[in-house]
Structure 1
């Protein structure tokens, strides 16, 4: 749960793997201090009292409305549809899981198909909707692009299931070591430091800075790097933020690698209690401007309850802010195709779901509401 303070997400991983994974490459990175990875601007230390207060609020003082009152409108997908789709198509599958079709091949970001963003099967944030397509029905992937190792961005079972049909896993430093520990063939893994790039299948990928943190247990905080990603396909440039607070790095990325046709920026799981690691919607819009983006697509929302804000608040706030600043905003439904070369605004689909009037409860069953999708337990 990357939206919560570091100790909460790591506490959930108490039973997870606890070994450090700083390779010799990590030690030579400017982002590594010899023991841990770090941000360009040091993250302020949080006292125990503040941390305990935040944990108490998250666990026992959740406001109403942090979960949707009804089923989300999700467009069901099939492998046949995806194979037939034109190049430069993007499909949002949930949270920060995005499927891109570029040059006839498929790329998947931060894949989480699990029911919960948690190391445990029965505890932790439960998703509000089924993925638009089952994991087993995905077409073979040219690659998986990982931003960092938190549970809502990196699901072990999903990654292991994808290994047989994925050519390469692109990761920040240390995250690839974790995949190898899990059993992924080292030949499939390419680990990059910030500003390093790889060319694969006619596409250029650059790992770029982000302001965040990492860890999956109480004992491995910041042992792996976090990153945003730039994807270049000829004259098309796409930016994927992963998780990040707002920082000067956006302007630097825009100057060095922009402008961008589409920015896929986190807009959700934010809170004034943890401003350093996630952006408020005002900061998301400013980051898009810094990046010199053309179209903004907000992600990191809608699938899991990871904060204290109302479920629909990220969508409403970013919509209003973008309109006020003349920013073109794309808000596709889960599973709806977005044309990266010519995006459209999309419906305000979240307004179809009435705000809950009771304490948040995850729907008992996931439902796909469009295109005759089948309900999934």
Structure 2
């Protein structure tokens, strides 16, 4: 078991200890589905010019502002939904962020790229003291440079998959704050146990760094609850393995949004999200990766409509709070339809 004393030095020297690293890049257990060059070009053309207007809501979505009073009143071991895959976790009296993106765009540019539907329910400057940031991978809608730069001196710990920790250090995050883990490695901070569990995805922030950094999900465990944070993933047998090792999970926060059959092996379709939840032996499903950025061709609320219908059909307990609303991990509840 690693602890939060700093970066794994062997990772910096090439990640040779990782079964996921082939000497040059990280790989999935199963290869991604191949697309022809012409298919790639058509997909990018459609993303740029052929998206239906309904991919963006025509009206502002309901948002519950997160105030200091709301933070104080929330039960310990709660999850606040910030939008997309960003969550504010209140665990054992301390606050953690997952994949925090507070920027206007999920993009390397301030003037181009997917734009937020609306601002986050709390300003960065109003966040409570943050014990740690939990990162799943390096894509712009999960790892935002501006957000990290504004938080790096206010956060005690950064937990990341292999390679992402090195990137944080390059950005100026103090190395003693960073722990980066391979799949199935774990660390403890106080009374909370964190396991970097597998996912089926990819990485890269530019033209030349594809799959140079690992991607992962997270199993977060205390003596009171088990929480799964899925990051990004296609459906794969690893969910069943995670469920067998660390389930059942009280709440599984799983990707449900930005999907398309052309990239179903790296972003789950709604039916895949249900299968993953069942494999994880989840008790409550909290769908994430939606209602914040326009990243696919489906209507903005299609993920919510589909997952709600599938959950009813499969008799799955579903928690879909509005942005900014808190959910008790130990005692979740179903929310009113807001989409």
CA distance in 2, matches of 1:238, 1:153: 19
Deviation at 1:170, TM superposition (A): 0.2
CA distance in 2, matches of 1:258, 1:69: 39
Moved more, 93-102 or 59-68: 59-68
The residue number in structure 1 matching 2:12 is 23
Deviation at 1:282, TM superposition (A): 0.4
The residue number in structure 2 matching 1:340 is 329
Count of aligned positions:
330
CA distance in 2, matches of 1:170, 1:48: 36
CA distance in 1, matches of 2:126, 2:211: 34
The residue number in structure 2 matching 1:141 is 130
CA RMSD of aligned residues (A): 1.2
Report if the CA contact (8 A) 1:212-1:245 is conserved: yes
The residue number in structure 2 matching 1:160 is 149
- From 251, 265, 276, the equivalent of 2:240 is 251
The residue number in structure 2 matching 1:70 is 59
TM (norm. structure 1) is: 0.86
Q: Which runs of 5+ in 1 are unaligned?
A: 1-21, 351-377
The residue number in structure 1 matching 2:34 is 45
Deviation at 1:339, TM superposition (A): 0.9
Deviation at 1:66, TM superposition (A): 0.6
Moved more, 211-220 or 23-32: 23-32
CA distance in 2, matches of 1:163, 1:239: 24
Deviation at 1:206, TM superposition (A): 0.1
The residue number in structure 1 matching 2:284 is 295
Report if the CA contact (8 A) 2:159-2:180 is conserved: yes
Deviation at 1:333, TM superposition (A): 0.4
The residue number in structure 2 matching 1:225 is 214
- From 70, 74, 78, the equivalent of 1:89 is 78
TM (norm. structure 2) is: 0.95
CA distance in 2, matches of 1:40, 1:229: 17
Q: Does 1:112 align with 2:105?
A: no
CA distance in 1, matches of 2:73, 2:320: 23
The residue number in structure 2 matching 1:199 is 188
Q: Secondary structure at the match of 2:53?
A: coil
Q: Secondary structure at the match of 1:168?
A: strand
The residue number in structure 1 matching 2:8 is none
Deviation at 1:27, TM superposition (A): 2.1
Moved more, 128-137 or 37-46: 37-46
Deviation at 1:49, TM superposition (A): 1.0
When residues 25 and 35 of structure 1 are mapped into structure 2, their CA distance, relative to the original with a 3 A threshold, is closer
Deviation at 1:31, TM superposition (A): 0.4
CA offsets 1:206-228 (integer angstroms, 9 cap, x no match):
00000000000000000000000
CA distance in 2, matches of 1:144, 1:80: 22
Report if the CA contact (8 A) 1:210-1:241 is conserved: yes
CA distance in 2, matches of 1:257, 1:342: 19
Report if the CA contact (8 A) 1:25-1:173 is conserved: no
The residue number in structure 2 matching 1:235 is 224
Deviation at 1:81, TM superposition (A): 2.8
Report if the CA contact (8 A) 2:136-2:215 is conserved: yes
Q: Which runs of 5+ in 2 are unaligned?
A: 1-10
Q: Does 1:211 align with 2:200?
A: yes
Higher relative contact order structure (alpha carbons within 8 Å, sequence separation ≥ 6): 1
- Kindly report which structure 2 residues correspond to 1:283-362, keeping only aligned pairs within 5 A, or say none: 283-350=272-339
Deviation at 1:80, TM superposition (A): 4.1
CA distance in 2, matches of 1:331, 1:25: 41
- Kindly report which structure 2 residues correspond to 1:51-66, keeping only aligned pairs within 5 A, or say none: 51-66=40-55
The residue number in structure 2 matching 1:4 is none
Q: Secondary structure at the match of 2:80?
A: strand
Shift >3 Å, 4+ stretches:
none
